[in-house]
Amino acid sequence: MTTASDTPALNIALLGGGTVGSQVARILTENADALTQRIGTRLNLTKILVRNPQATRDYELPTEYYTDDVDEVFEGADIVVELMGGIDPARELVLRAINQGASVVTGNKALLATHGNELYEAAAEAGVQLSFEASVGGAIPILRPLRDSLSGDKITRIMGIVNGTTNYILDEMDSTGASFNDALAEAQRLGYAEADPTADVGGADAAAKAAILAHLAFHSPFTLDQVYTEGIAEISDLDHKAAADAGYVIKLLAIVEELDDPAGVVLRVHPTLLPREHPLAAVRGAYNAVFVEAENAGELMFYGPGAGGAATASAVMGDVTSIAKRKLRGGPGRTHTARRELECLDIGEATTRYMVVVRAADASGVLAKVAGTFAEHNVSIKSMNQTPDQDSNDERQTALLAFVTHRAKEAQLAKTLEATKQLDVVDEVLSVMRVEGK
Amino acid sequence: MTTASDTPALNIALLGGGTVGSQVARILTENADALTQRIGTRLNLTKILVRNPQATRDYELPTEYYTDDVDEVFEGADIVVELMGGIDPARELVLRAINQGASVVTGNKALLATHGNELYEAAAEAGVQLSFEASVGGAIPILRPLRDSLSGDKITRIMGIVNGTTNYILDEMDSTGASFNDALAEAQRLGYAEADPTADVGGADAAAKAAILAHLAFHSPFTLDQVYTEGIAEISDLDHKAAADAGYVIKLLAIVEELDDPAGVVLRVHPTLLPREHPLAAVRGAYNAVFVEAENAGELMFYGPGAGGAATASAVMGDVTSIAKRKLRGGPGRTHTARRELECLDIGEATTRYMVVVRAADASGVLAKVAGTFAEHNVSIKSMNQTPDQDSNDERQTALLAFVTHRAKEAQLAKTLEATKQLDVVDEVLSVMRVEGK
């Protein structure tokens, strides 16, 4: 029988010594014996590429591990773990690793969502593996189940809470009634939000993850710029109140789905109302969860911490050990090259439900007029709730009408809203939000 | 480039044509083209072994597919899918498939929980794959994430709602106030419970899944008979009321955990109180969910339909396509042979929290006496709630005292209860339930 001591160790080079990189270094060194036993060979952390080898870090290894010399890091590396983030120089370094015959593990969603196809193809050509479980949902095993466990099924739709910062902020606003600015400040104080929260709050981070999820679910190449993106900064107090009154919570969801007519996929990130009893509605604080609908499996959900050094490092280490085990067994690795060429459709083709709140004259016949406009554009109304308007005055008595529609195309809704605004009984469309879940 | 038409088809033989088998046959035939495109070769369903080839089925293939001739079914099979259930002749047929060099996919939890090690070792020796995602949690991808995604982490504990029948019954009792018998009858009417519900209600089904989960989480061989098992038939109305009053729901959980002192694992299935805000508490109806605690990843949850023909077939097909893809790539398959030899500890070593309800004299000093007995045996009390006793009478005024403890060993609690019963102020210990979650 072959034992671990007979087998040459595998050299692991780490690019980046930040929050996640430090934790990967910790696990590789502290758990070395358990990993050797589990894998059948030793994982040998060789060097860590950092900008400043002298800086202090969360988890400190002896100084000889740290270097800013790229050649030194790549020397003899069997697996390169890229955790530096950003596009440059990450892209160039990942390509260099692939071309030298090393397998790559990365958690870099921005890189994958912009240059993923170039990297997948380079890896397939070089016969090395490129794994990136940590790029979506932190510690949550989601990419491997999508690729492997559901490979005999047809995924129709994925809805994910894939950004912990915005989920924390929305949860705070929902549960404590905090304003957006107060909730953001609290998230920053707790380290859930960065000093510049634009990428999280504006939805770009979730959009990158949507592109990666769509790639794995639909086996086609997608990029960040194909994702329709709305962030959470524009959500008003009225939006929150209307949602809560109707029994919904607001979540920032990344939604990717395959449509039949016209054929293609829609990729979108936007604030979404979910019924309180939906499994995603119960995802609190900075947690992440990915809800998957498949033709045969039905509804699945994967839940866990979406960020954090140790949690994300767990996903990285899962990829590293899987690659190591495959290297030991021999045989070629898996590839991620696209096998289909699905079209990415305009947001106008997306079908969803909507909540629309309008300020209208408080008079008889108003509901009939508004409902008539919806009907004209084939947007069917599921429910309506009228509440007094606090801005109503003697001059003009007004009320707030909150409509929830059945499913309709975005393009149809846009026309409906246009026509509704023209009605003389309607003062203003105050809120338009998308609604998902049953 | 190699195309699907260049590659010889893989022959799939199906053992069993029941609820799940029918759906696997449907997917293999209806989705043949999509599967071919995804895998790179054709999956060719050859024969289906059934007891009665003339019987009518959920999904009907032309009669030439069905046979009761074992030799005919095994002829030329590359992958054998065993969905007949039970030990005999499933065990013998799986071994025959392995020995003929076919890979095997099975959803047979009873077989794996009793003869798993024999089968894993036979598969490793023959160099074939044995996959069994469908054996735990139906459609939920849980075994692959445990084995692969978390392979660089250390799993410390798994708590699973892995039996849909009992979850449906408990959820009905909790949400509608139905009695156990009424909820069971409703479950039977809806097809969630079998005419003889013993294996579900008594916990044996969940126990088999606990043994399989423990095998994958702790890399050691475990069998069904090592799982401490209590079912749900003994849960009383008083248990339900006490749980609800204290903000808990009752779930039948399969819990497997690794302990340090003494070193080993405890495997247990029993009704468990969970705080209503725990992610597992929100798992309704016949759904399943597996909650995983790992050293670095933290808390993860995998949720989905735990049964049903199409859903379970999705998991089977995930295994089939993964094996097919690996066969095409070449290289040896993965093995499931145990790599550690962890001891299975007695339930007395398990550490959990408890809710204990006693009927005691409604007099001063009673709480002090009962609390003193707990303290003597090192069981620390977290909270106590006293309610009037409806059976109290003039002769002897009594009250119900509901204690929730901090974590303590089962053995300590047993001694505490023994001593509590001896107290002259205590009439009766009415309810003892285990409590998990924060």
Q: In this predicted model, what pLDDT tens digit does every residue of A236-256 receive, in sequence order?
A: 989 999 999 999 999 999 999
- Please name the amino acid found at residue A386: Q
Asked if A294 and A414 sit in the same domain, the reply is no
B342 found inside a domain: no
Cβ of B303 within 8 Å of Cβ of A304? The answer is no
Asked if A159 and A119 sit in the same domain, the reply is no
A334 found inside a domain: no
Concatenate the DSSP letters of all residues of A362-421 into one string. SSTTHHHHHHHHHHHTT--EEEEEEEE-TT--SSS-EEEEEEEE-SEEHHHHHHHHHHHH
B334 found inside a domain: no
CATH, residue B413 = 3.30.70.260
Instruction: Give residue A390's pLDDT band: very low, low, confident or very high (50, 70, 90).
Output: confident
Using an 8 Å CB-CB cutoff, list chain B residues near A302.
Answer: 300-303
Least CB–CB distance from A34: residue in B154, B310, B316: B154
Using an 8 Å CB-CB cutoff, list chain B residues near A144.
Answer: 144-145, 148-149
Token pair for A135: 């790029």
pLDDT one-digit tens code per residue, B386-430: 998 988 777 889 999 999 999 999 999 999 999 999 999 999 999
CATH, residue A29 = 3.40.50.720
Listed residues A294, A329, A364: the one ending a domain: A329
Report helix, strand or coil for A255. Answer: strand
Angstrom distances, CA of residue B257 to CA of A141, A207, A305, B269: 20, 37, 21, 12
Asked if B298 and B318 sit in the same domain, the reply is no
Asked if B14 and B89 sit in the same domain, the reply is yes
Closest Cα of chain B to A319: distance in Å?
7
- Which chain B residue shows the shortest CA-CA distance from A218? B38
Token pair for B330: 């070449």
CATH, residue A205 = 3.30.360.10
Least CB–CB distance from B141: residue in A34, A149, A332: A149
B18 found inside a domain: yes
Determine the pLDDT at residue B5.
54
Alpha helices in A219-308 (DSSP H): 237-245
Asked if A284 and A157 sit in the same domain, the reply is yes
Cβ of B303 within 8 Å of Cβ of A149? The answer is no
Chain A interface mutation, best of B314, B328, B438, highest count of A Cβ atoms under 10 Å: B314
Asked if A298 and A325 sit in the same domain, the reply is no
ipTM score over 0.90, yes or no: yes
Listed residues B329, B361, B392: the one ending a domain: B329
Convert B269-332 into a string of H (helix), E (strand) and C (coil).
Answer: EEEEEEECCCHHHHCCCCEEEEEEEECCCEEEEEEEECCCHHHHHHHHHHHHHHHHHHHHHCCC
Cβ of A149 within 8 Å of Cβ of B27? The answer is no
pLDDT(A5) > 60: no
Residue B241 is a catalytic residue: no
User: Where is pLDDT greater, at A147 or A207?
Assistant: A207
Looking from the CA of B282 toward its CB, the CA atoms found within 13 Å total: 19
What's the longest Cα–Cα distance across chain B? 91
Asked if B251 and B182 sit in the same domain, the reply is yes
A392 found inside a domain: yes
Asked if A361 and A414 sit in the same domain, the reply is yes
Q: What is the CA radius of gyration of chain A?
A: 25
- Which chain B residue shows the shortest CA-CA distance from A281? B282
Using an 8 Å CB-CB cutoff, list chain B residues near A249.
Answer: none
In angstroms, the first-to-last Cα distance of chain A is 55
Strands B381-388 and B426-435: unpaired
- Cα–Cα dist B346/B266, whole Å: 7
- Cα–Cα dist A49/A52, whole Å: 9
Asked if B402 and B431 sit in the same domain, the reply is yes
Q: B288: domain range?
A: 143-305
- Cα–Cα dist B121/B104, whole Å: 13
What is the tally of structural domains in chain B? 3
Token pair for B104: 């095997």
pLDDT one-digit tens code per residue, B249-294: 999 999 999 999 899 999 999 999 999 999 999 999 999 999 999 9
Using an 8 Å CB-CB cutoff, list chain A residues near B279.
Answer: 282, 303
Least CB–CB distance from A150: residue in B141, B300, B305: B141
Cβ of A321 within 8 Å of Cβ of B152? The answer is yes
Determine which one of B109, B209, B251, B327 is catalytic.
B209
A339 found inside a domain: no
Whether the Cβ atoms of residue A378 and residue A390 lie closer than 8 Å to each other: no
What residues contact B33, with CB distance under 8 A and at least 6 apart?
Answer: none
Token pair for B186: 């409703």
B340 found inside a domain: no
Cβ of B144 within 8 Å of Cβ of A148? The answer is yes
Asked if B322 and B257 sit in the same domain, the reply is no
Percentage of the residues of chain B whose pLDDT score is greater than 70: 98
Give the distance from CA B70 to its chain's centroid.
31
Chain B interface mutation, best of A37, A42, A277, A314, highest count of B Cβ atoms under 10 Å: A314
- Cα–Cα dist B152/A315, whole Å: 8
- Cα–Cα dist A386/B131, whole Å: 56
Instruction: Give residue A1's pLDDT band: very low, low, confident or very high (50, 70, 90).
Output: very low
Give me the total of CB pairs closer than 8 Å, taking one residue from chain A and one from chain B: 184
Asked if B74 and B55 sit in the same domain, the reply is yes
Asked if B92 and B221 sit in the same domain, the reply is no
Using an 8 Å CB-CB cutoff, list chain B residues near A219.
Answer: 38
Closest Cα of chain B to A194: distance in Å?
22
